[in-house]
Amino acid sequence: MSQAKKISIVLSAVLAIVLLAAFGWRQKAQPAAAYFANKGMVFGTYYNIQYQAGADLHDSILAAFDAFDHSLSMFNSASVISRINHNQDTLTDAF
């Protein structure tokens, strides 16, 4: 094997080790996401949600419950399904 090829292999190995070390250090430097717990009452029952995320998602969870309630709640007289059941003109939604 030629001297140039040996140097090329050694330099490639050193570069690979440096890149792997840098990547591993960067992965460890990132903090783990926090755990959150949200609970409350919805649709006549209780919910308790625990999740790992970068931020508290409680407002998004409530928005999803409100969208579902607006669409499919039979106990909400203004919901899409209630208006359909009462033969009222309405536009359907994604649910």
Q: Could you read off the pLDDT tens digit of each residue along the chain, which spans 95 residues?
A: 677 666 767 667 766 777 777 777 655 666 788 999 999 998 889 999 999 999 999 999 999 999 999 999 988 899 999 999 999 998 888 87
What lies within 8 Å, CB to CB, of 80 at 6+ separation is 70, 71, 72, 90, 91, 92, 93, 95
Question: Could you tell me the pTM of the whole model?
Answer: 0.60
Q: Is residue 79 within 8 Å of 90, Cβ to Cβ?
A: no
Q: Is residue 95 within 8 Å of 79, Cβ to Cβ?
A: no
